[in-house]
A = this chain, B = another copy of it.
Amino acid sequence: MIKTPYLLFLGDAPDQLAAKVAQGIKDWRPDNAVAQFRMEGCGADVGLSDMTLAEAQAAGAKTLVIGVANRGGIISAAWKEILIEALNMGYDLASGLHNLLTDEADLVAAAEANGRELHDVRIASVDYPIASGKKRSGKRVLAVGTDCSVGKMYTALALDKAMQAKGMKSTFRATGQTGILITGDGVPLDAVVADFMAGSVEYLTPPNDDDHWDVIEGQGSLFHVSYSGVTLALIHGGQPDALILCHEPTREHMRGLPDYTPPTMQQVADLALPLARVGNPECQVVGIAVNTQHMSEDEALAYLAAAEAEMGLPAVDPYRFGAERLADALAAL
């Protein structure tokens, strides 16, 4: 287990989206984070106090969590000095990057010299099976997005919270490093070897009570050419009974792909549903989750009303206005 509370390392994150790991911890487990640590030029701010390593340690922080995900998941040279200083001061480190802490000889040496721990939450520590495709008991809902980083994890966490508030049985199932850091359990799907992706999702969402819902965190997008294979493995391994469409309406191009225009919600539904029905012929799209963070409240409410009318499905911003209507839609299935 990773020692809490954390100091959240935002490094030189170019923008707010790059700090979504830290933002997720702050939003869903605020008691676990005492402060944020930002380097000069950092373009992110998750709304915690800025503290030095010494100040945060005095405030009780035990682990420096790398709360920023850059493209390719590299531990840059610019970060190293701070990470080593933290180890020397008595912090553990935790990271979900592809570039493992334990692959960096200087970090390993500093950790050993100081008796500290390096937690790489992205490492797949289980030999996952090849997916069997067998029908499992219990129910599953999966968030599918028009793009990466549109709010699929937040939607799943908010939906899980709303379902539990209604007295429904539900479990949030993390498939990425942030979700794993938040819940302490899950499958680091983007680090799983190709042949075992769908099997790892079956492993994550085993047979359960007939009235229990697994709320599965989505990854990537069928329309994001870098990661679409991961998305389809979730759709086929997760065998969802229900899909929630996740969208961010102000995105001008697909994240990291300047030549790619985001699809409409209808385009995602038109591809995701027939693909999902290969694994579960009963699957339905039950609702829409819109990330309205870049809209005024009036704009957001108008957009949601228009989306609801156009798609004939409940449309909410689960983070801003709550996920109760999505929970109601699942309860009604």
Q: Are A194 and B226 in contact (CB under 8 A)?
A: no
Using CB atoms, name the residue of chain B closest to A263.
Answer: B278
Using CB atoms, name the residue of chain B closest to A239.
Answer: B225
A184 interface contact, C-beta 8 A? no
Q: Are A131 and B225 in contact (CB under 8 A)?
A: yes
Q: Are A197 and B199 in contact (CB under 8 A)?
A: no
Number of copies: 2
Instruction: Chain B residues near A257: list those with CB within 8 A.
Output: 132-133
Give A71-82 as 1s and 0s: 1 = Cβ < 8 Å from B's Cβ atoms.
110000000000
Given contacts A257-B133, A260-B133, contact A195 B228 (CB under 8 A): no
Q: Which of A144-186 contact B (CB under 8 A)?
A: none
Instruction: Chain B residues near A226: list those with CB within 8 A.
Output: 130-133, 195, 198-199, 236
Give A176-208 as 1s and 0s: 1 = Cβ < 8 Å from B's Cβ atoms.
000000000000011111110111000000000
Q: Are B192 and A194 in contact (CB under 8 A)?
A: yes
Give A247-285 as 1s and 0s: 1 = Cβ < 8 Å from B's Cβ atoms.
000000010010110010000001100110011000000
Of A72, A129, A231, most B-chain CB atoms within 10 Å: A72
Q: Which of A266-313 contact B (CB under 8 A)?
A: 270-271, 274-275, 278-279
Closest approach, in angstroms, between the C-beta of A141 and any C-beta of chain B?
A: 18
Number of interface residues of A (CB under 8 A): 45
Q: Are A236 and B225 in contact (CB under 8 A)?
A: yes
A10 interface contact, C-beta 8 A? no
Q: Which of B130, B135, B193, B232 is the one whose CB lies under 8 Å from A232?
A: B232
Q: Which of B131, B260, B271, B279 is the one whose CB lies under 8 Å from A274?
A: B271
Q: Are B72 and A130 in contact (CB under 8 A)?
A: yes
Q: Are A98 and B225 in contact (CB under 8 A)?
A: no
Given contacts A271-B271, A278-B223, contact A197 B229 (CB under 8 A): yes
State the CA gap A223–B277 with chains docked (Å): 10
State the CA gap A270–B279 with chains docked (Å): 17
Instruction: Chain B residues near A33: list those with CB within 8 A.
Output: none
Instruction: Chain B residues near A195: list those with CB within 8 A.
Output: 98, 190-191, 226-227, 230
Using CB atoms, name the residue of chain B closest to A234.
Answer: B229
Instruction: Chain B residues near A197: list those with CB within 8 A.
Output: 194, 229-230
State the CA gap A194–B271 with chains docked (Å): 21
Chain A residues in the interface with B (C-beta under 8 A): 71-72, 98, 129-135, 189-195, 197-199, 222-223, 225-233, 236-237, 239, 254, 257, 259-260, 263, 270-271, 274-275, 278-279
Knowing that A134-B259, A191-B194, A194-B233 touch, tell me 20 more A-B residue pairs with CB under 8 angstroms.
A72-B129, A131-B225, A133-B225, A133-B260, A190-B193, A191-B193, A191-B195, A194-B194, A194-B230, A195-B227, A195-B230, A197-B230, A198-B225, A198-B227, A198-B229, A228-B232, A228-B233, A231-B232, A260-B278, A270-B274
**3 closest A-B pairs (Cβ-Cβ)?**
A229-B233, A225-B236, A229-B229
